[in-house]
Structure 1
Amino acid sequence: MPSPADKEALIEAIYQAPLEPGGLSILVPSLEAALGARVGLFVKRQEGVGLLAGCSSSTALQMAEYGLHLWRHDRALHALDAERPGQIVLDTDLVTADERRKSPFYNDFLGSMDAERGVYASFLSEGGEVYYVSGQRSARCGDYEEDEVRLLDDLVPHLRRSLQTWRHLRRAAVERALASEVLDHAGMGVMLVNARSKMVGANSTAEACLEAAGLIIEDGHIRACDVRMERQLRRAIALATQPRAGAVTVELRASHGSLGVSLLVTPCRQQQLTGREPLATLLLPRVGQASTDLASFARAHGLTPAEARLLDALARGERIADYARRSGISPTTAKSHLRALFDKTGERRQADLIRLALQTARSSIEPAADRN
Structure 2
Amino acid sequence: MTEAVQAAALQPAQWQEVADRLPRCVPGTKVVMQVWDGLSPPLPLISSGWSPATIQAYSDYYCEINPWRPAWLEMPPMRACWADDYLPNPQLRKTEYYADMLRPEGEVDAATGIKVVQEDGRLAMLAVHYDSGKGEEMHAVLGPLVQALATSMRQALDVNRAIYRSTPSLGLDLDLLHALLHPAFIVDRHCRVLAANAKAEELFSGRNPYVGVRDLLHFADARIDKAFAEKIRLLCSAGPGALSSIEDLSLTLPRGAFSIAVMPVAQNLRSMALSGVLPMFLPEVVALVVLRPRSETTPTDGLQTRYGLTKSEARLATALPNGGTLLEVAGRLGISYETARTQLRAVFTKTGVNRQSELVALVLKQAHAP
TM-score bracket for this pair, using the shorter chain length: 0.3 to 0.5
TM-score by length of structure 1 reads 0.41
TM-score (norm 2): 0.41
The higher relative CO (CA closer than 8 Å, separation ≥ 6) is in 2
Q: Which has the larger radius of gyration?
A: 1
The structure that is strand-richer by fraction is 1
